[in-house]
Amino acid sequence: MTIEININDLIRTRMTEIAEAAWRNHRVLPTADGEGRVLQIGSAATVERWVCGADHGSGVCGEALLTHRQAAELLGMFNVDEPVLDPQLPVTDVDLLDEGVGGFTCGSLYHLSDVRREFEKAQG
């Protein structure tokens, strides 16, 4: 008996499971392909992949969330353990598809305002 597994279906299923858990546990939503906003800090830009749907005390947040890699790239840092040293809003840990390792790894999501604040601190 041969069992065929389509890797694309497996990845799509896992990404759906991650999205459902992120919403259920943290009120975080992934953006649909091609629907994310372009986020710019200084001369660097990236595309929104996650958005915060949590209420931090003043209504639904709606702020873009950046992966560790996106935050580091916008801040001009690569391979940095913590691109945002003192986040004001909760950092969310979710599984992310990491092309560098060829699979899913735990990653952090940072609010755009915290990344922007870190950029402004570095600018002096």
Blockwise average pLDDT, block size 10, the chain, 124 residues:
81 92 95 89 93 94 94 82 88 88 89 95 84
pLDDT value for 80? 67
Q: What does the alpha-carbon distance between residue 18 and residue 35 come to, in Å, rounded to a whole number?
A: 19
pLDDT value for 100? 75
Kindly state whether residue 2 falls inside one of the protein's structural domains: no
Q: Which residue has the tokens 């580091």?
A: 72
Kindly state whether residue 22 falls inside one of the protein's structural domains: yes
39 is in which domain, residue-wise? 7-123
Kindly state whether residue 31 falls inside one of the protein's structural domains: yes
Q: Are 45 and 38 spatial neighbours (Cβ–Cβ below 8 Å)? A: yes
Kindly state whether residue 96 falls inside one of the protein's structural domains: yes
Q: What does the alpha-carbon distance between residue 83 and residue 115 come to, in Å, rounded to a whole number?
A: 8
pLDDT value for 39? 95
Q: What does the alpha-carbon distance between residue 18 and residue 32 come to, in Å, rounded to a whole number?
A: 14
Q: Which residues are registered as beta bridge partners of 108?
A: 93
How many domains are contained in the chain?
1
Grouping H, G, I as helix, E, B as strand and the rest as coil, residue 18 is: helix
pTM of the model: 0.87
How many other β-carbons are positioned within 10 Å of the β-carbon of residue 71? 27
Kindly state whether residue 1 falls inside one of the protein's structural domains: no
Task: Show the tokens assigned to 84.
Answer: 């945002």
Angle at 53 between CA 49 and CA 55, to 5 degrees: 145
pLDDT value for 78? 65
